[in-house]
Amino acid sequence: MSDTLPILIAGYSIAIFGFVSSVISLWLIYKITVLHNGFGLISAAQSIVEGSILFFNVFVAYTTILM
């Protein structure tokens, strides 16, 4: 178990980084588009979906490495 600990830490840190970056991009899209027109909500929802998919893919990849 101690051999896989660095891989686990790296996997979770990359997954957390992906989640945080998607939240930041969502905030930027909100600031840029929603405050200027009402159609920014669609792109904000798309960024949430893309960030969630990225988070899930990274989590699955590192869980598979640990198996």
Backbone Cα Rg of the chain: 16
Q: What is the pTM of this model?
A: 0.42
Spatial distance between the Cα atoms of 18 and 10, rounded to a whole number of angstroms = 12
37 phi-psi bin (left φ>0, alpha ψ -120 to 50, beta other): beta
Show the DSSP H helices in 1-67 as ranges.
5-29, 40-66
pLDDT tens-digit profile of 44-66? 677 777 777 777 787 777 777 77
Asked whether the predicted pLDDT for residue 17 surpasses 70, the reply is yes
Give the count of beta carbons closer than 10 Å to the beta carbon of residue 25.
15
Domain spans in the chain, listed from the N-terminal domain onward: 5-62
